[in-house]
Copies of this chain bind each other. A is one copy, B any other.
Amino acid sequence: MLEHVTCLQAMLPFKKSGFCKPDAGNAMSMIASTPVALTPAPAAGIGTAAPPVSHFTLSNGMDVVLIEDHRAPVVTHMVWYRNGSADDPPMKSGIAHFLEHLMFKGTKNHEKGYYSNLIADLGGQENAFTSNDYTAYFQRVAREHLGTVMAYEADRMVNLVLDDETVNPERDVVLEERRMRTDNDPAAQLQEAVHAALFTQHPYGKPVIGWGHEIESLDRHDAMAYYQRFYTPENAILVVAGDVTRAEVEPLAETHYGAIPARAARPQRLRPQEPPSHAHRLVQLADAKVEQPSHQALYLVPSAMTAKNGEQDALELLSHLLGGGQTSLLYRRLVLEQQIAVAAGAYYMGGAVDDTRFFVYAVPAEGVTLEAVDAAIEAELAVVRRVGVDAADLARAKTRMIADAVYAQDNQATLARWYGAALATGEDIASITEWPQRIAAVTLERIKQAAQLLQRHRAVTGYLMTAEADANHE
């Protein structure tokens, strides 16, 4: 049973095109080169219902985050590793995701299937996902089984067994995944090409699942070398959310994870960075399978980790103002007023180790060209760059974003993912708890400054086109 988490967020453009299929297994790993789109917007600490969060470190260097939630007698248990597809060694793209698959095989102590059956017998759920910057494994079980799932994760952190009989067929499984979900999907192909164009040097330009010709070369030795390098307590973060106290969790964590000897320093994340961009890039893919053309623009912008002076908060608000729902600027202008698009939105992937993506997207109305939609988007962005946004709009966006984050805290697993993703990309607990105050403090001037980053010479635009559109062009 190799099950994967379904798509956590549907904030990506082109939901219908196969990027996010909540009903399909392993969707997370399959998002072309798009990282898990965790809203970088947790609001723990605000409001009266804010859960108590504690953070401590085991003697071997493993981080532990505990989020108490006593509403139901269940726990969400996650182990995050600070390595994702962007840490794949050169010519080994896909190894992070491949190893995620292999982590469901046997260990020295237990045969393949033992743990998965155990979790099922306990009435629990388990899953895993790989993203650009991290790989995570989780289980959700009744509170009394927390020790059992800790024993499971601790065992496979050190005792994984890989042989050719296990590894080689699983590689074929991954290759088939790639064929089904990317190679047969024009939208996914475009997504890969757009990311490769935006990130010409940085590994965010590589798909999480890997390039087909490189996956083909991955073997047991690659997987084991990768495992031994990254699957160490120093590189891991334990997140427990649920009906348990620190007095219960700390001794359990010490028993199961603390017993793993410290290995070495945490692996460094050495990644090529992008040179300055001077040229706009338009990526066009036409295919007979495309029924609905669509437009996307990606801008290379700072992430929460690379931003200076709170740029990330301004960018997050800007994405909300531009394209966060039906009151947003792009939706109002393109869909409601000009009626040249049937959908329009924006999204900022702030939670990343390195410089990241700001998306703007639209789906043209019947008979409207992608060029017309592109020009309309550019015109709106030009206005925002020049004069900024409306004060009332900004106030409304802040209220809505903070409220959304408060509502989202209702979900135990969502909270666990917020903290896990933040720590795995290098943020600290304070970056989460102080987020509402930071958002509230963003000024009109800072929004306008952030908009200066959305310039054409920093952007990659993607056109998904019908086959006829291509034929017409030629």
CB proximity of A181 to chain B, nearest CB, Å = 14
Q: Is A396 in contact with chain B by the CB < 8 A criterion? A: no
Q: Is A457 in contact with chain B by the CB < 8 A criterion? A: yes
Selected from B271, B276, B279, the residue in CB contact (under 8 A) with A283 is B279
Q: Are B474 and A273 in contact (CB under 8 A)?
A: no
Which B residues are CB-close (under 8 A) to A200? Answer: 196-197, 200, 205
Selected from B186, B211, B275, the residue in CB contact (under 8 A) with A201 is B211
Enumerate the 8 nearest inter-chain pairs by beta-carbon distance, A residue then B residue, closest first: A196-B200, A193-B279, A279-B285, A282-B282, A211-B275, A189-B278, A280-B284, A279-B283
**Given the contacts A270-B91, A272-B91, A474 and B382 also touching, CB distance less than 8 Å:** yes
A residues apposed to B, CB below 8 Å = 90-91, 186, 189-190, 192-194, 196-197, 200-201, 205-206, 211-214, 270-273, 275-287, 375, 378-379, 382, 456-457, 462, 470, 473-474
Please, could you name 14 A-B residue pairs with CB atoms under 8 Å apart, sorted by A?
A: A90-B90, A91-B271, A189-B278, A196-B200, A200-B205, A211-B275, A212-B276, A280-B284, A280-B285, A281-B284, A375-B473, A382-B474, A456-B470, A456-B474
Which B residues are CB-close (under 8 A) to A212? Answer: 275-276
Total identical chains: 2
Selected from B206, B272, B281, B462, the residue in CB contact (under 8 A) with A197 is B281
Q: Are A190 and B279 in contact (CB under 8 A)?
A: yes
CB-based nearest B residue for A186: B278
Q: Are B278 and A193 in contact (CB under 8 A)?
A: yes
CB proximity of A465 to chain B, nearest CB, Å = 10
Q: Are B285 and A189 in contact (CB under 8 A)?
A: no
Which B residues are CB-close (under 8 A) to A206? Answer: 201
Q: Are A284 and B279 in contact (CB under 8 A)?
A: yes
In the complex the two chains form, what is the Cα distance from A118 to B193 in whole Å?
A: 53
Which residue, of A206, A281, A283, A379, has the highest number of chain B Cβ atoms within 10 A? A281
In the complex the two chains form, what is the Cα distance from A278 to B188 in whole Å?
A: 11
Selected from B91, B273, B283, B382, the residue in CB contact (under 8 A) with A213 is B273
Which residue, of A200, A212, A279, has the highest number of chain B Cβ atoms within 10 A? A279
CB-based nearest B residue for A196: B200
Q: Are B285 and A283 in contact (CB under 8 A)?
A: no
Which B residues are CB-close (under 8 A) to A90? Answer: 90, 272
In the complex the two chains form, what is the Cα distance from A212 to B456 in whole Å?
A: 22
Additional pairs, 6, CB under 8 Å, beyond known A192-B275, A382-B474: A214-B272, A279-B462, A281-B282, A281-B283, A378-B473, A378-B474
CB proximity of A229 to chain B, nearest CB, Å = 16
CB-based nearest B residue for A271: B91
CB-based nearest B residue for A193: B279
In the complex the two chains form, what is the Cα distance from A474 to B276 in whole Å?
A: 21
Q: Are A283 and B284 in contact (CB under 8 A)?
A: no
Which B residues are CB-close (under 8 A) to A286? Answer: 457
Which B residues are CB-close (under 8 A) to A284? Answer: 279-282
CB-based nearest B residue for A205: B200
In the complex the two chains form, what is the Cα distance from A124 to B211 in whole Å?
A: 50
CB-based nearest B residue for A378: B474
Which B residues are CB-close (under 8 A) to A457? Answer: 285-286
CB-based nearest B residue for A281: B283
In the complex the two chains form, what is the Cα distance from A90 to B192 in whole Å?
A: 21
Which B residues are CB-close (under 8 A) to A462? Answer: 279
In the complex the two chains form, what is the Cα distance from A400 to B456 in whole Å?
A: 45
Q: Are A278 and B285 in contact (CB under 8 A)?
A: yes
CB-based nearest B residue for A374: B473
CB-based nearest B residue for A210: B275
Q: Are B189 and A279 in contact (CB under 8 A)?
A: yes
Which residue, of A90, A196, A286, has the highest number of chain B Cβ atoms within 10 A? A196
Which B residues are CB-close (under 8 A) to A282? Answer: 281-284
Which B residues are CB-close (under 8 A) to A272? Answer: 90-91, 214
CB proximity of A369 to chain B, nearest CB, Å = 14
In the complex the two chains form, what is the Cα distance from A271 to B189 in whole Å?
A: 23
Which B residues are CB-close (under 8 A) to A271? Answer: 91
Which B residues are CB-close (under 8 A) to A197? Answer: 197, 200, 281
Which B residues are CB-close (under 8 A) to A273? Answer: 213
In the complex the two chains form, what is the Cα distance from A213 to B275 in whole Å?
A: 7
Which B residues are CB-close (under 8 A) to A201? Answer: 196, 206, 211
In the complex the two chains form, what is the Cα distance from A152 to B190 in whole Å?
A: 53
In the complex the two chains form, what is the Cα distance from A277 to B197 in whole Å?
A: 12
Which B residues are CB-close (under 8 A) to A280? Answer: 283-285
